[in-house]
Structure 1
Amino acid sequence: MFVFETALGRCGVRWSEAGITEVVMPGSRGLATASLGDPAALPEAVRAGVAGIVALLAGERCDLCDIALDETGLDEFRRSVYAATRAVGPGATATYGEIARAIGAPTAARGVGAALGSNPFPIIVPCHRVLAADGALHGFSAPGGITTKRRMLEIECAPGFTQESLFG
């Protein structure tokens, strides 16, 4: 695993020849004490992915849609959910129901939530941009939970998240 610093803390990535296989969020077990990697040792595609993650979490409006992912072992439903979620740009949000409708499964909002709850590519597949139908923050499985989700939306200046919460 390659470990690197971001504005939220240390992240990590794993990859294969096909693309990134996993993004490890700040606060995950072992990251705080892991050694930082040398980006020069990374394959170019992975280096570009890491740079995109760092830039996005620093507040730049980066579109990470071109980062190659290794989706080996993912079923077609999860692949379609992740593709639709990747289409939600920085600073924008969608609901679980909107993602369900986008993939042609309008009654599958809970399935979308389950797929995003097991998202191995957080940040690149921006599950933090997907909200409940009422705009509430629910179901963020990364370390820090909803507090991390809120912080990522604040960094992106998403509507309704442009200032820090007093109680977050």
Structure 2
Amino acid sequence: MFDTALGWCGMAWGERGVVAVELPGADRGRTLAALRRRVGGREVEPAGPVLAVVERVRALLTGVPDDLTDVPVDPSGLPDFHWRVYQHIRTVGPGRTTTYGQVAAAVGAPGSAQAVGQAMGANPYPIIVPCHRVLGAGGKVGGFSAAGGAATKVRILGIEGAAPGGQPSLFD
């Protein structure tokens, strides 16, 4: 568990990399409970490379650009399509956005924007795999699975300097 500009986040990791990230819930306890429901485990203080990732995520959520593409994630158990989508999404850097349709075309599945949306909703590593940078057609915000939903998505995009559809947000 670690505190950020948005509230308490959680991260679980294993030998192959990050297994899950939990974006802020209503409070630390709820965020921890949500992470434990997803992956189980016990709470430990991050150290070494994991602590470095935590610090980078904290910095990103205060506006320090970082694409986090070098942070390893564990794809065990993911559907192949989801993994392809997540790999592509990681190429979309801070301050930039793409659309569900563009992602679908980029992974060789044109016309599969809804499937990309489902992959985004199932993303086990939000922020590290930046699903918040994926918008609907015409720059529409669309959904977001974190607490606060679309408002949280817009807030993160604002912190990164990207406004959906080029429009200022409530947080600008």
TM-score category of the 2 structures, normalised to the smaller one: 0.7 to 0.9
CA positional deviation for 1:28:
5.9
CA distance in 2, matches of 1:125, 1:91: 14
Unaligned residue ranges in structure 1 (runs of 5+): none
Percent sequence identity over aligned pairs: 48
Unaligned residue ranges in structure 2 (runs of 5+): 34-42
Aligned length: 161
Q: CA RMSD in A?
A: 2.3
**Which region of structure 1 is more displaced relative to structure 2, 144-153 or 156-165?**
156-165
2:8 partner amino acid:
R
Q: Is the 8 A contact 2:121 2:144 kept in 1?
A: yes
TM-score where L is the length of structure 1: 0.87
Q: 2:74 aligns with which of 70, 74, 94?
A: 70
Is it true that 1:165 corresponds to 2:162 in the alignment?
no
Is it true that 1:59 corresponds to 2:57 in the alignment?
no
Q: Which residue does 2:37 correspond to in 1?
A: none
SS at match of 1:13: strand
Q: Is the 8 A contact 1:95 1:131 kept in 2?
A: yes
Q: Which residue does 2:50 correspond to in 1?
A: 46
Q: Is the 8 A contact 2:16 2:72 kept in 1?
A: yes
Is it true that 1:145 corresponds to 2:149 in the alignment?
yes
Cα distance change on mapping 1:28 and 1:100 into 2, 3 Å: farther
More helix per residue: 2
- Give 1:2-13 correspondences, 5 Å limit: 3-13=1-11
SS at match of 1:134: helix
